[in-house]
Amino acid sequence: MEVKIEPSWKRVLEKEFDKDYFKTLTKFVKNEYESRTVYPPPKFIFRAFELTPFDKVKVVILGQDPYHGPGQANGLCFAVNKGVRLPPSLQNIYKEIATDTGKPPVYTDGDLEEWAKQGVLLLNATLTVSAHEPGSHQNQGWEQFTDTVVKALSEQKENLVFILWGAYAQKKGAVIDENKHLIIRSAHPSPFSAANGFFGSRPFTRCDTYLVTHGEVPIIW
């Protein structure tokens, strides 16, 4: 089956696209896009992979679902399109950047494309969602696909930083080899949990310190 995805990722994930679960997933997703409003736009489903090739990944941030409101989802977890009001979780992420680094975030439009271009893979567990129906594309196969992505990164690369916010991301990150990579765990930046361990967790300076220690250029947040 022909899947349009960035070449280095295609090499790593090629076997997945011929598996029965992925064929079933593809049929489901195509039918959803043809019959109702689905986010993100089709061209952005694999945007995280396009902006952050496998060979360039330095940091992985795991999310759960794309945003399900008009004009929000753009293929990068926690991100929204330029000009769209920042969701509460992203507002809290920017607050923590300011507290953690001692200066306001460099990029504030919400798109997070500049993070992705520096090697931050902004990966949702589920890559599509029906409008106004959070979780509507869960348990259709996306989670199996993105589990394979996380496992491939853990096994085939070294000295990555995995940032796992909240119980869902931490469960998904259980396959990561902690002997090879840095795992930063904390509460989720959602307003419901940010005060319970996200604020003050300093993920951004911890990440950059680790990258510099291992000969990498730090991320400009």
Q: What is the pLDDT of residues 122-147, one digit of tens each?
A: 999 999 999 999 999 999 999 999 99
For residue 176, pLDDT beyond 70: yes
Pinpoint the alpha helices (H) of 15-141. Answer: 20-35, 47-51, 88-101, 113-117
d(CA 42, CA 60) in angstroms, rounded, equals 22
* Residue 82 per-residue DSSP state: T
Q: How is the chain split into domains, by residue range? A: 7-213
Backbone angles phi, psi at 85, to 5 degrees: -60, 140
- The pLDDT, as a whole number, for residue 2 is 61
pLDDT per residue over 183-207, tens digit each? 999 999 999 999 999 999 999 999 9
Strands (E), the chain: 38-39, 59-63, 120-124, 129-130, 161-165, 182-186
- The pLDDT, as a whole number, for residue 3 is 75
pLDDT per residue over 53-64, tens digit each? 999 999 999 999
Q: Give the rounded percent of residues in the chain with a pLDDT score beyond 70.
A: 99
d(CA 136, CA 151) in angstroms, rounded, equals 25
| Domain boundaries 7-213, corresponding CATH code | 3.40.470.10
- The pLDDT, as a whole number, for residue 16 is 95
For residue 99, pLDDT beyond 70: yes
For residues 62-78, average pLDDT: 95
d(CA 180, CA 193) in angstroms, rounded, equals 29
Q: Supply the residues annotated as catalytic.
A: 65
- Angstrom CA distances, 78 to 88, 94, 128, 159, stand at 10, 11, 14, 23
For residue 1, pLDDT beyond 70: no
- The pLDDT, as a whole number, for residue 4 is 84
Tokens encoding 197: 């361990």
